[in-house]
Amino acid sequence: HAIERDGEDLISTHCCFCGMQCGMNIRVKTETKEVIGVEPRYDFPMNGGRLCPKGVAAYRQAEHGERLLSPLIRKNGELVKASWDEAMELIVSKIQEVQAQYGKDAVGVYSGSSMTNEKCYLMGKFARIGLGTKNIDYNGRYCMSSASFGFNQSVGIDRGSTNPWSDIKSADVLLLAGSNTAECHPLSMPYIWGARDNGAKLIVIDPRQTKTALVADIHLDIRPGTDVALANGLLHVMIEEDLVDYDFINKHTTGFEKLKELVKKYTPEYVSEITGVSAEKIVSAARIFGQSKNGMAMFARGVEQHATGTDAVSTYVNLCLVTGKIGRKGSGFATFTGQGNGQGGREHGQKTDQLPGFRKITDPKAREYIAGVWGVDESEIPGPGLSAFEMLQALGSEIKLLILACSNPIVSSPSVAHVGDYLKSLDFFVAIDMFLSESCELADVVLPSTVWVEDDGTTTNVEGRVLRLRGIDRTPGESRRDWEIICDLAERLGRGKYFKYDKPEDIFNELRVASKGGIADYYGITYEKLDNMQGVFWPCPTEESEGMPRLFEDLKFNFPDGKARILAFEHKGPNEKISEEYPIFLSTGRVVYHYLSGNQTRRIESLLNFCPDPYVEMHPNLAKKYNIGNGEMVKLSSARGSIEVVAKITKIIREDMVFVPYHWGKTLAINHLTNPALEPNSKIPEFKVCAVKIEKKAEI
């Protein structure tokens, strides 16, 4: 896995920039260990020798001049260089001071899902038994949590995909909802082309005619926030036209009669009024999906980042359940994980309501088991605490000290001006990052971590396939690997005996035991196995097992009666309605050249050149109404804030909405405007729709 070639080493690893986790070799000068380039890996089946623009440029972080190379401490208002000892001793003294005065839970840990499985596991363990706080959560709360809750309530298990990606080519129909796959998951497109080459139909549900929707057989240009109504409409047509599989429904599901009753009123005409999609298109899409033998429903943040996100996820899952499209090649459902380790990041206990192996923290048996693995008493595991955004809202009140790792909430959170105020109200703020992000700029201490090419460990990709990352053996300047920083902190807090690891594999071996018997069972996955195979799908309960690429082949779902739950939800619509003052819908999303808050990709010149600034997409008819020309500055405002951006006039978007990508911070952050309303089950904020007004800048 490290090949020598003409004075270079090729280190075999995976791309950090989305849940595909494409295989790549990092080119490193043997003598100096300088990172000089990247090559795609032809042996890794997921990408088979391809990389997207982000993947090609990702390695440029490694030698970037803005990397943090020493700890920083705030002195007289400025962040200045400090030694590790000075920084760590200050942090430890502040933690002890805060916990003595306000209690253990006054320290919060906010981590991220771009980290390896080993680090995600360690963050959950460190918060609970290193710090003794119940308040640990992570940025995946903004990303995957609705899919996670929806899958659990429908089929009792949360793996991002029921099928390996290779199954996509066997589908007769692909229904993509709220996913601009071509930009956000680019190398999933060859799989979709493969299905099209085999004759599959493509249905895309999206308010914009994205690059993905452009190639669809049917594009349902849905009004933002109306997915539940649309999916109910599709179900209505399929039931009316007898396109459902009663044999499967009767043998393998519960709840169909309730759904049938509920969707009676969701006629194509009624749904058309709610969604803005024509009744004819709704009927056509339902017929294509219902009449196809095999098909997959695939969705992403466009469906999930809503105050009704979990209802929408389960309603789309219903499409597969009522037609029996599950448990075989080309039939199933999936959510596209955006973060590099979006799947693994949500499995190992860094969610506030969860212990490793997808165990519930409130389950006495789970607590007892994990306490045994950690060598503590069950009563020493605190929780559940606050979810990610709730934790931010509690800064300065319930939480006095925050440890932030691998996340940039002052860009990625809704209503970011408030988040800035919350961060500033902390008694003490510690950030761990490789670059000085907008959030780090507010910290009292910043600790420099390594970049992903210097990381050994594992991630779990969009399919549920666990993969081996191999790191270059170097730590530039005084940077350190996150897991070593956390273990050092635990040692200095007097909890070091619980954090004795020499290498990531030691953490992984503990994680395997912690996950044993849980839903996401990694017990049978070893580094050796990962080195010899192209990843292993969980569950993999024994060392003899080769994992389970396709779930539910036995048609047994993860409930005591083995039956999947068909769940019925009414359309409720967005939390914030448009009004006379704010008459336009705003939706936010991503572009192919940037990753999450942009902390990494905005520093890579080649990516920045492609897309240097945010913009607002608006339909020509909407632009005409406000007398706005292409390229003119526009002020967008919601009840929470305003930003000024350049107008991009385009026919790809509905007339009743605008769209702005979210990868920029400070005055360019569109999250100044977004609605912090949380979905009650998953606690995901409603990023995908809020009400705004538009003003032409010259007229302000």
Q: Summarize as ranges the residues that interact with ligand SF4 (CB under 6 A).
A: 15, 17-18, 20-22, 47, 51-52, 54-55, 186-187
Closest to ligand SF4 by CB, 38 or 326: 38
Q: Minimum CB separation from ligand SF4 for residue 54, in Å?
A: 4
Closest to ligand SF4 by CB, 114 or 148: 114
- DSSP classification of residue 465: E
Euclidean distance between CA atoms 626 and 194, whole angstroms: 43
Question: E strands of 455-569, at which residues?
Answer: 457-460, 465-469, 536-537, 564-565
- CA distances (Å), origin 556, targets 93, 248, 252, 262, 523: 52, 12, 7, 26, 22
What is the SS3 string spanning 386-438?
CCHHHHHHCECCCECEEEEECCCHHHHCCCHHHHHHHHHCCCEEEEEECCCCC
Q: Minimum CB separation from ligand SF4 for residue 592, in Å?
A: 8
- Contact (Cβ atoms closer than 8 angstroms) between residue 220 and residue 284: no
Q: Cβ-closest residue to ligand SF4?
A: 55
**Could you tell me the two tokens for 452?**
């992903």
Euclidean distance between CA atoms 7 and 323, whole angstroms: 57
Closest to ligand SF4 by CB, 22 or 388: 22
Euclidean distance between CA atoms 296 and 556, whole angstroms: 19
Q: Minimum CB separation from ligand SF4 for residue 16, in Å?
A: 7
What is the SS3 string spanning 557-594?
CCCCCCCEECCCCCCCCCCCCCCCCCCEEEEEECCCCC
Euclidean distance between CA atoms 415 and 637, whole angstroms: 12
Q: Minimum CB separation from ligand SF4 for residue 187, in Å?
A: 4
Q: Minimum CB separation from ligand SF4 for residue 183, in Å?
A: 10
Closest to ligand SF4 by CB, 21 or 335: 21
Closest to ligand SF4 by CB, 51 or 230: 51
Closest to ligand SF4 by CB, 37 or 477: 37
Closest to ligand SF4 by CB, 114 or 275: 114
Q: Minimum CB separation from ligand SF4 for residue 190, in Å?
A: 10
Q: Minimum CB separation from ligand SF4 for residue 348, in Å?
A: 21
Closest to ligand SF4 by CB, 13 or 47: 47
| Length of the chain (residues) | 700
Q: Minimum CB separation from ligand SF4 for residue 17, in Å?
A: 4
Q: Minimum CB separation from ligand SF4 for residue 130, in Å?
A: 32
Q: Minimum CB separation from ligand SF4 for residue 465, in Å?
A: 13
- Contact (Cβ atoms closer than 8 angstroms) between residue 19 and residue 185: yes
Closest to ligand SF4 by CB, 252 or 465: 465
> In the beta sheet, which residues pair with residue 645?
634
DSSP three-state, residue 302:
helix
Euclidean distance between CA atoms 519 and 366, whole angstroms: 11
378: Cβ contacts below 8 Å, ≥ 6 apart: 364, 367, 368, 371
- DSSP classification of residue 480: B
Closest to ligand SF4 by CB, 425 or 606: 606
Closest to ligand SF4 by CB, 27 or 492: 27
Q: Minimum CB separation from ligand SF4 for residue 593, in Å?
A: 10
Q: Minimum CB separation from ligand SF4 for residue 519, in Å?
A: 25
- DSSP classification of residue 223: P
Q: Minimum CB separation from ligand SF4 for residue 426, in Å?
A: 33
Euclidean distance between CA atoms 196 and 88, whole angstroms: 56
Closest to ligand SF4 by CB, 116 or 253: 116
DSSP assignment of 635-676 equals EEE-SS-EEEEEEEE-TTB-TTEEEEE----GGG-GGGTSEE
Closest to ligand SF4 by CB, 422 or 452: 452
DSSP three-state, residue 55:
helix
- CA distances (Å), origin 54, targets 110, 648, 662: 26, 23, 16
- DSSP classification of residue 485: H
Closest to ligand SF4 by CB, 20 or 131: 20
Closest to ligand SF4 by CB, 379 or 609: 609
Q: Minimum CB separation from ligand SF4 for residue 25, in Å?
A: 13
Euclidean distance between CA atoms 67 and 451, whole angstroms: 9
Q: Minimum CB separation from ligand SF4 for residue 205, in Å?
A: 22
406: Cβ contacts below 8 Å, ≥ 6 apart: 111, 112, 114, 115, 119, 139, 432, 433, 449, 482
DSSP three-state, residue 506:
helix
DSSP three-state, residue 72:
strand
